[in-house]
Structure 1
Amino acid sequence: MDSIRMVHVKLLAIDALSLTVHDNHSQSFSRKGKLISRIEVVGVVVSYERKDKYLSFLVDDGTGCIRCILWLNNQPDQFRLGVAAEMALEEAKAVQLGKLVRVRGKITMYKGMVQITVGDIFVERDPNAEILHWLDCIRLAKHCYDPPAGYLP
């Protein structure tokens, strides 16, 4: 089985939501036979919910909405907890309704739905970022993620 596991795979929400669960215990996912563990999506924040330990929000890229979860205190080491929590709180401030964001993170499953456990999040200032992401997704799918048999780049 071919793997693109070590990179953030650029996907549209519709593709991310249709990933196949490869192994229930390790929460491995696959797309057309290729293992995927990390993804990147670009879209508009359409809802969010802030709790003490996490920030949950939906990103809509025009093909669907994908749930993202940003843990605000997930480090076992107290020093790292302070630094990681501080960084997570700064990232959480960026999540506002209507903002165009780029989210990268690990694919996880929660209540039977694919979600992104956020590694990092950036507010996009370029209004073309979403359409450029779409074009990247199409190009990468065609030439890298699922090229036709016999294709040589």
Structure 2
Amino acid sequence: MGPPLHLVHIKILAADLLSLTVLQTSRPSFLRRGRTVTRAELVGIVVSRDRREKFLRFLIDDGTGCVPCVLWLNHQYLNANVSSELSASDPNAEMALKMSEEVCLGTLLRVRGKIVMYRGAIQIAVRDVVLEKDPNVEVLHWLQCVRLAKECYDLPPPSAPGAT
């Protein structure tokens, strides 16, 4: 039995993320081969960017597909309305703003966040963004995804003994 996947950011390719099984309950659940996943880590190129007042929406392309991502900025604006001094000292607002500046068309990023549904499609609610300067990171991520899928993620769930 592998580790519980719902407790970690699983390294995953876009094609695998976008093909997760969705269980429609009051809060959608996402399954990979019968095991619940809630968080993901992707590496890819920013191919679309749309900044609004409360959020930054962008697409990450890793060569297997494009994943919609959203970085919420609204806490920054809520705090700014209370006091400009308060927003300057809010680490979440400062961090979200700094991360949003890293998201530029054509840049290679590592994105981690929660898997969510929005208007019937899977997307990532971004927790953090890291600008990758080494182009080899993308290929290394692909290799890690394949290895982890084989050794950890795609093992049969504990409730299905003897499954292959």
Q: Quick check: TM above 0.5?
A: yes
Give 2:126's match in structure 1, choosing from 111, 118, 136: 118
Distance in structure 2 (CA, Å) of the matches to 1:134 and 1:28 = 25
User: Aligned partners of 2:141, 2:130: CA distance in 1, in Å?
Assistant: 14
**Residue 6 of structure 1 aligns with which residue?**
7
Equivalent residue for 2:82? none
SS at match of 1:126: coil
Give TM-score scaled by structure 2 length: 0.84
Matches within 5 A, 1:6-85: 6-74=7-75, 78=79, 82-85=90-93
Q: Which residue of 1 aligns with 2:116?
A: 108
1:142-153 correspondence runs (5 A)? 142-147=150-155
C-alpha distance in structure 2 between counterparts of 1:34 and 1:40, whole Å: 17
Number of matched pairs: 149
Say yes or no: does 1:87 pair with 2:88: no
Letter in 2 for 1:123: L
Moved more, 140-149 or 124-133: 140-149
Superposition map of 1:118-137 within 5 A? 118-137=126-145
Post-superposition offset of 1:121? 0.4
Measured in 2, the distance between the counterparts of 1:115 and 1:130 equals 20
Q: Percent identity?
A: 54
TM-score (norm 1): 0.89
* Structure (1/2) with the larger helix percentage: 2
